[in-house]
Structure formats: structure tokens, C-alpha cells
Structure 1
């Protein structure tokens, strides 16, 4: 039987994650995929993979990382795995290559034999699974000896996703309870030290962590605001849960606090932590 303290923790996690709607691949691309697209090529370049390897992309989502692998790494084969049918459908449309296959499955229970892949990677996944240590341990298990195991996540605690930080700051100003749903509070381990410890505890060797940054230029306020209305991800899910009046208050608050260039565009940045190690 689960202890009372464990039940409390699970209840808090369920409440905090109740806005995490991860089904629509198109909505995710509009919200986060277009920025992951800028990080993914820099990530695969940083891990320095050998060509013609067998790759696994865990939590492949809409296929941004898989697409970068095909474009830059000349894989012998690539399997992308994700639990969302909507995301997998988007990935299959995006990455059309005979070497690539996308399958449904869970990161915490990868349906592959041990020591099956030369490179095992993941982008923006480990903070959204029920057991991140088990997920990274599974990535290590299916990697061949000496194989690269690597992943990246946004620097939530350090405010590395500036458009998200602006959204939650405005939301908290209007609704203090919104603080509980922000990624910085929910994922406090997404730091250099926290992620290095996760990789070490999962059994990886030769661990390295680096910051990977990119620009996020929004054409205008509508380009900034619209993805938050689509309901895919924690912040859009929270936005969709608001009454029309509260949503309009949040929209108006954001419009007044964002930085604008002379042409009306909104220049911001994103920063991810890249983590790499090897299977011993």
C-alpha cells in the first residue's frame, strides 16, 4: 500500500501536471517545436557521433531531433519512440527517410533488447516522464558498450526559456496560484548539477553538461500569444483553463510587458542543458 506521504507527492504532481496536454503535434510545433528545431542541430553537433550508427530517439515527439539526426549525422538506422499517436503522426510526415521508423512506446520501458544502439538520445523528454531516473537508465540499458547516451532539456530554473518566463510572471501577477504550475517550480532539477547527477545515478560514465542557446524571434505579439491559446503544454494548458475574461487580462498584461523592436517583433532567447555520457 502506498504511504500517505507518497500519496501526497503523487497528488501534488497530478495537480501540477493537469494542464500538460501532449496530443496535438501541430499545436506543439507552433508552441515549442519551432524552437527545439533550433537547438537540435547544435545538440547533435556537440555530441560528436560517428557516422553510420544505429540511433534511438526516445520521446521523439514531432520529430525535430530525429530530423536533425538525419540531416547532420548520416545514421545507418534511426528509431523514434513516443507514447503520443498525434506526435508520431507529425513525426512521420516530417521525417521521410527509409532508414527511419517511428513506433509507440514508453521511455520507462523501452521495447528493445539490451545493447541495441550506437547512439541513444532524447530531446525535451526526461522532465515529462513519470520516472526520469528509470527513463535514463533504460536509455543506458539499450545502448551498446561505449555508446553515446545524451539528452537535452530546457533550463527552466535559470529562466532559460524567456517567452515562458514572461508568460508565467504575468500569470502569477494576476493569479498567485499559477506559480505552482510553472516549469521552474515543477522541474527544479533541470540545472547543470541536477542533470549531471541524474546521468550519474542512471549509470552513465564520462558525463559532460553544456549550455545550448538559440534566439526566439516572434514576428509580433500575435505570433507570441497564439501558441499559448492552443492547449498543448503546461503554459498553454493553463491558459486554456482560464475563463475568457481572465485570459484577456493575461493577454493584455503580456502585451504591455514584453520587449519590442522598432518593427514590432519580440526578440527573446532560449537555453537548454545538453547532457552526454557513455554506456560503460
Structure 2
């Protein structure tokens, strides 16, 4: 999904409305897509990024190579920063994967200045991610037990009301939720299917565990559901839910 994350990052940051020269932190920075967009479009004073994966942090360092950026390996539930050191703390496509999202949001609020912005976005796995929806609907039609793996079932957090409740319970104020819709375009069925062969994430891991015959059955079942244009291309909609709140003033 990294292919599309940067397309969400730009409208997400615009929605936040944080001005130039702000101090940002990017919790779960991954390969640096969100941090890169902050640097390119919002002229920050600094960006502090953190991820549990040493490989991702190394990739992001090589990608960004900017003196305003400081990246670290660490846990979203125990941020290594002092209190009140950032004007805006953001988290892209991570909250639903955390064992304790509530603690992570409280940590994000802790390191944010009073009156500062705390915000995140997640994919709408339930109905808004057509790329994933076609895949899981086809898999469940073939093998009903697959329903337990469907991210739409596994991640109830990825909906407006749970996201709003998460931020409110962490003490954030003026909490708002916004839908961010993008198009995901594929050259052909092979271009659509290729990410599912990567072995990383729930759907690719599931595909990798299938034998070749079952894998081809699934690919054909998915293909039959896809809206393939006369030129072979595929255009699908993807929705992310964004949430933001203000760190309370003391």
C-alpha cells in the first residue's frame, strides 16, 4: 500500500492546516513518505521521525537526507521525546496495527505542545478500499474461513466513530474526522495482482501460503470482479479516514 500512501499524505496535511516553521513528529514514519511530503509542502522547522523497523528507518534516512530531519528507531507506545516538543504530531497508516492504539495516541499528545495538532489517518478497510475489497470478497467466496483474515473485520478502529472516540479518550479537543478519497490506477490485471505476491501484509501473506493451484484460482476469481477497461487498465477508489484533535492547554 506504500504505492498510494503519499497520495493520501498531501490532502491529509492540507486538511490539518499547520503553518510553516512548525516542529513536526512522524510516528511510524516507515519509509518516509509522510515526512517527505511535510518537507516538500510545509516548510517545517524540523521533523522527528520514529519507526520500530531499523530497515525502514535506514531507508527513510537515505530517502530524505535533510538536516531538519532526525529519525530514530523506537516504539509508538513509548516515544523517546520529552513532553511538549512538537507543534504537530502525525501518524500515517499505523494506528490499526498497534497492540495499544490508545497508549500511542496518549504518547502523541504528550509530546505535542498545548494547542498543537495531533492527527492520524488509516485506510477504510471495511468498504472504502476497493483494491482490498475485491480481493477479500473473492477469497471468502472461495473459502469461507478466510473471512477471519479480512482487514475489514480485523480493524474496527478504521471507521469515523471509533477514531473520534480514540482521540477524545486521549484528552484531545475539537476532534474532527475527514474522508480522503483517491484513485488507484493499474495498467492491467498483472499490475493489480503483483503487490499480492510480495508476502508482506495480511493479503500477500495469505497468497504466499496458498499452493499454486489455489493461488491461480484466487487470481481468476479476483479478476472476474475487477472493472477492467477496454484498454486493460483498472481504476479503483481508495478511502482513508483522517482524524485530528488539539492538544489541551494547561
Instruction: Quote the offset at 1:90 in angstroms.
Output: 2.3
Instruction: Quote the offset at 1:257 in angstroms.
Output: 1.8
Post-superposition CA distance 1:94-149 (Å, at most 9, x none) = 22211112210010110111111111001001000110000111000110111100
Q: Which residue of 1 aligns with 2:103?
A: 134
Q: TM-score, normalised by structure 2?
A: 0.97
Structure 2 Cα separation of the partners of residues 247 and 89 of structure 1:
33
Q: TM-score, normalised by structure 1?
A: 0.87
Structure 2 Cα separation of the partners of residues 92 and 67 of structure 1:
11
Q: Which residue of 2 aligns with 1:184?
A: 152
Post-superposition CA distance 1:140-190 (Å, at most 9, x none) = 011011110010011122x11110011101111111111111111011121
Question: Matched residue of 2:62: which SS?
Answer: helix
Q: Which residue of 2 aligns with 1:242?
A: 210
4+ residue stretches of structure 1 with deviation over 2 A?
none
Q: Which residue of 2 aligns with 1:102?
A: 71
Structure 2 Cα separation of the partners of residues 71 and 212 of structure 1:
20
1:39 correspondence with 2:11: no
1:223 correspondence with 2:191: yes
The total of aligned residue pairs comes to 248
Instruction: Quote the offset at 1:48 in angstroms.
Output: 0.3
Q: Which residue of 2 aligns with 1:164?
A: 132
Q: Which residue of 2 aligns with 1:273?
A: 241
Q: Which residue of 2 aligns with 1:173?
A: 141
Structure 1 Cα separation of the partners of residues 57 and 199 of structure 2:
18
Structure 1 Cα separation of the partners of residues 240 and 72 of structure 2:
26
Question: Matched residue of 2:206: which SS?
Answer: helix
Q: Which residue of 2 aligns with 1:147?
A: 116
Question: Matched residue of 2:131: which SS?
Answer: helix
RMSD: 1.0
Structure 2 Cα separation of the partners of residues 93 and 269 of structure 1:
31
Structure 2 Cα separation of the partners of residues 96 and 218 of structure 1:
31
1:193-212 to structure 2, matched below 5 A, reads 193-212=161-180
